[in-house]
């Protein structure tokens, strides 16, 4: 599968996605990130929790571990399904897509998704996941048992 074709398909899907009705990414809007914790009772941790979505990634909230010493990737070729869910693009693998080892514990790859625009901010700025005129830029956030692991 050609990655360039995948990128074009994703750009088309991102541009063609319908707006999410329950929340949005307009920072100043009534359904924006600063209000997510008020929109639904089950989302209250977004307002009261520490390190709940949306997270501002900065030197205050993240420890940078050079060379990802505790992270080992063991990816395998696998078929997958891509779905535009309106607020994000989801990738779900079929079969064994490999695993990621974090500090000695293996985690099987099953599903990942990314938001456009990004759910989280970096030093207060919301990023676009891709652009036809720029290189692909993603921020990978993996949450395992309450621990946030970042990779760019």
Question: Whole domain around residue 140: which residue ranges?
Answer: 3-151
Count of structural domains, the chain: 1
Q: Where are the strands (E) in the chain, listed by range?
A: 56-57, 71-75, 80-84, 88-93, 98-102, 105-108, 111-115, 121-122, 125-126, 140-144, 147-151
Beta-bridge partners for 1: none
Q: Would you say 115 and 99 are in contact if contact means Cβ atoms under 8 Å apart?
A: no
Over the stretch 16-70, which tens digit does the pLDDT of each residue have?
Answer: 444 457 888 777 889 988 888 899 988 888 888 766 667 777 777 777 666 666 7
Is residue 115 among the annotated active site residues?
A: no
Over the stretch 62-99, which tens digit does the pLDDT of each residue have?
Answer: 776 666 667 888 999 999 999 888 777 888 999 899 99
Residue 15 has pLDDT above 50, yes or no: no
Q: Catalytic residue among 12, 87, 115, 120, which? A: 87
User: For position 19, which CATH number holds?
Assistant: 3.10.200.10
């Amino acid at each position: 599968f050609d990655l360039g074709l995948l990128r074009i398909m994703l750009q088309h899907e991102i541009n063609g996605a319908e707006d999410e009705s329950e929340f949005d990414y307009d920072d100043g809007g009534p359904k924006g990130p600063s209000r997510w914790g008020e929109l639904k009772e089950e989302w209250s941790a977004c307002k009261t929790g520490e390190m709940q979505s949306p997270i501002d990634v900065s030197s205050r909230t993240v420890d940078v571990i050079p060379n990802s010493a505790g992270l080992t990737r063991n990816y395998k070729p696998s078929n997958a399904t891509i779905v535009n869910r309106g607020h994000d693009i989801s990738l779900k693998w079929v079969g064994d897509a490999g695993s990621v080892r974090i500090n000695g514990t293996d985690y099987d790859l099953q599903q990942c998704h990314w938001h456009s625009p990004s759910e989280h901010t970096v030093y207060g700025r919301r990023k676009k996941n891709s652009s036809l005129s720029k290189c692909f830029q993603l921020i990978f956030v993996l949450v395992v048992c309450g621990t946030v692991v970042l990779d760019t």
